[in-house]
Structure 1
Amino acid sequence: MLFEQNNQHILDKKHQEWEFLHHFHHLGYDLLDLSILEEFRWDSLSPDDLKSMTNRYTWQANDSLLSIRSDWTDAIVRYRKKYKLKTDKIAYSGPVYSYNKERMQFGMETFSEDIDTQQKSMKDLLDYLQTHLKQTVSVAVISHYSLLKKLLNKDELQDPEVRHLLRERNLDGLTKYLGDTHPVVQLMSQPVPDQLHFARDQFPDLKGPVNEIINWRNALEEKNIPTVYSDLFSLPAQSYYKGIFLQFYTDQTVEPIVTGGQYSSPTKAFGMAINLTDLTY
């Protein structure tokens, strides 16, 4: 009986993966399947590569550094650069290994800077999450990765202590470190519901990113997500993330079930992935 249950569980997972790829293929997405093994050359490692190595399973083979895939977007960025990928949008499925754990991801990438096109792809993924995986998003968090670049100078942005305090949302620490007149401190001192409009009213350079956040917030509210709020102090995990970044949660998850956003490498694009869990896979 145990094997019968196990067999059915494996078949169900494989069918779910096939169903996702089949569904997005019929929506006009091209499908991409990449090797789980990535090869790096020591003489061409970027700052992003070096930073990410602490979260990867890596080993050395002759003159190469080998790694198990830890992020689909990162792998696709490399593939696009190497093979000059020609497609408007792709869908993918497969595992990633990072932070000492394995995750299965279903995702899509749209290679367009048109916001309507990006939001259409986002809605495609959210519709699949709700219709096929029977998961309802209860909370959406919107960030914009150009905000802090406009509020912090280059040295502050790279300062490990500043980055640590920002990740902790430590207002007292930032006040002591940067001073109470610093724009970041002034913005973080406002009540969370007021921060977005304070940023637009008090800092003219932030008007563009704030308006983009409002645009995406409106698109999410059209999807009837109960709670949508902005996080103005997020730092990108990779330097190619340039604009809007989104995280979606259900009532049953403490970690985001869907993540992704706008990036630029080598051209403007948008991508999101469903992080499958025991609830969904």
Structure 2
Amino acid sequence: MNYIEYQDKVLERKDLEFKFLNYFKNHQYTVIDLHFIERLNWQQLTQDDLESMSTRSIWKNGQNFFALRNDWTDQLQHYARTFDLNFKRAVYAGPIANNEHISTNLGIEVFNPSYEDMLTSFQYMLKFIKEEMQQPVDFAVIGHYQLLNLLLSDTEQTPEILQLINERNISELSRKLSETHPLVNLLKQPTHLQLDYIPSLIPNDHPTYLSILRWSEELKRAGIESIHLDITTMPPKSYYIGSFMQIFKNDQSEPIMSGGHYDGEIEGFGFGIKVD
């Protein structure tokens, strides 16, 4: 492992951070920074916090516990437990640490957002990726964290069924649920065709479907024609409640950009770009 980065790579990354912050500052986003080291208050830790401990760098100093930041949105949730956020839109750039790997995260958040706020933030991010980063966008993955509730009853959402969905084990799901179950029929379709198939399975006037439909239309308007549906069983944190999306290049397995709608200590909609 190389622990030292040299001149050109350092300057390129710092220049990208500056461009990102300045770009969104010019669009009336408040530039913020938070300490890379978080002091953890054990009385305030949630189940989400406890479940993320295995991926975080944590240590004790006296009676205090500390951890390296592993997610900007999560850190803002922690901050909002104690302090008021006196801004509507925020932009940040800085390190995150996961599983002892440090990368730079460029991100924005819009708090208590309207749909127009969410759409505008997406448009700004996509423009930055295409024009400032000179990155092509080949396809998108979208979904909604409430979609599974329209496809499975509460009694069907057992740990076993959810695990089979994660594994995309269609044959076993067919046996457990039935060959004609709506979820089984949906998973049998190629992911890039599932958006066209799902209206036959769920109420077309349901807010969850309308949200997915609206975002798919916006992606197409932005020139992204290849759109895949993600049937996910578990959000990264329990406060993620609504639509989410990821933007990809064909030659990369990691998304260029990802984001979603959340409602925890604060409600917001955020997008992030991870730079290794």
Alpha-carbon distance in 2 for matches of 1:142, 1:88: 25
Residue 133 of structure 1 is matched in structure 2 by 133
Report the CA distance between 1:252 and its aligned residue.
Answer: 3.1
SS of the residue corresponding to residue 81 of structure 2 reads helix
Equivalent residues of 1:171, 1:185 under 8 A apart: yes
Alpha-carbon distance in 2 for matches of 1:32, 1:162: 42
Alpha-carbon distance in 1 for matches of 2:61, 2:158: 32
Equivalent residues of 1:107, 1:272 under 8 A apart: yes
**RMSD across aligned C-alpha pairs, in angstroms?**
2.4
Alpha-carbon distance in 1 for matches of 2:192, 2:22: 41
Report the CA distance between 1:254 and its aligned residue.
Answer: 1.3
Is the alpha carbon distance of 1:25 and 1:191 closer, same or farther for their aligned partners in structure 2, counting shifts above 3 Å?
Answer: closer
The letter of the residue matching 1:124 is: Y
Greater mean alpha carbon deviation, residues 191-200 or residues 241-250: 191-200
Alpha-carbon distance in 1 for matches of 2:248, 2:178: 34
Equivalent residues of 1:242, 1:262 under 8 A apart: yes
Equivalent residues of 2:80, 2:266 under 8 A apart: no
Identity of aligned residues (%): 31
SS of the residue corresponding to residue 85 of structure 2 reads coil
Is the alpha carbon distance of 1:275 and 1:40 closer, same or farther for their aligned partners in structure 2, counting shifts above 3 Å?
Answer: same
Residue 116 of structure 1 is matched in structure 2 by 116
Residue 16 of structure 1 is matched in structure 2 by 16
1:40-98 Cα shifts (integer Å, max 9, x gaps): 23333211111111211122334443211111111112222321102111000011111
Alpha-carbon distance in 2 for matches of 1:133, 1:144: 28
1:1-35 Cα shifts (integer Å, max 9, x gaps): xxxx9334323322221121111111100011011
Higher-helix-fraction structure? 1
1:110-132 Cα shifts (integer Å, max 9, x gaps): 11331121011011111111111
Is the alpha carbon distance of 1:13 and 1:188 closer, same or farther for their aligned partners in structure 2, counting shifts above 3 Å?
Answer: closer
The letter of the residue matching 1:269 is: G
SS of the residue corresponding to residue 66 of structure 2 reads strand
1:224-271 Cα shifts (integer Å, max 9, x gaps): 124122223352110011111111111331111111111112343110
Residue 266 of structure 1 is matched in structure 2 by 265
Number of residue equivalences: 272
Alpha-carbon distance in 2 for matches of 1:187, 1:11: 47
Equivalent residues of 2:57, 2:99 under 8 A apart: no
Alpha-carbon distance in 2 for matches of 1:231, 1:13: 31
Greater mean alpha carbon deviation, residues 54-63 or residues 217-226: 54-63
Is the alpha carbon distance of 1:66 and 1:156 closer, same or farther for their aligned partners in structure 2, counting shifts above 3 Å?
Answer: farther
Residue 43 of structure 2 is matched in structure 1 by 43
Alpha-carbon distance in 2 for matches of 1:40, 1:181: 48
The letter of the residue matching 1:263 is: Y
Alignment of 1:66 onto 2:66: yes
Greater mean alpha carbon deviation, residues 255-264 or residues 217-226: 217-226
Alpha-carbon distance in 2 for matches of 1:191, 1:251: 17
Alpha-carbon distance in 2 for matches of 1:251, 1:147: 26
SS of the residue corresponding to residue 82 of structure 2 reads helix
The letter of the residue matching 1:67 is: A
* Structure 2: segments with no counterpart, 5+ residues: none
Residue 52 of structure 1 is matched in structure 2 by 52
Alpha-carbon distance in 1 for matches of 2:112, 2:199: 27
The letter of the residue matching 1:166 is: I
Equivalent residues of 2:77, 2:266 under 8 A apart: no
Alignment of 1:213 onto 2:207: no
Residue 76 of structure 2 is matched in structure 1 by 76
TM-score by length of 1: 0.87
Greater mean alpha carbon deviation, residues 31-40 or residues 185-194: 185-194
* Structure 1: segments with no counterpart, 5+ residues: none
Alpha-carbon distance in 2 for matches of 1:63, 1:205: 54
Report the CA distance between 1:206 and its aligned residue.
Answer: 7.8
The letter of the residue matching 1:163 is: L
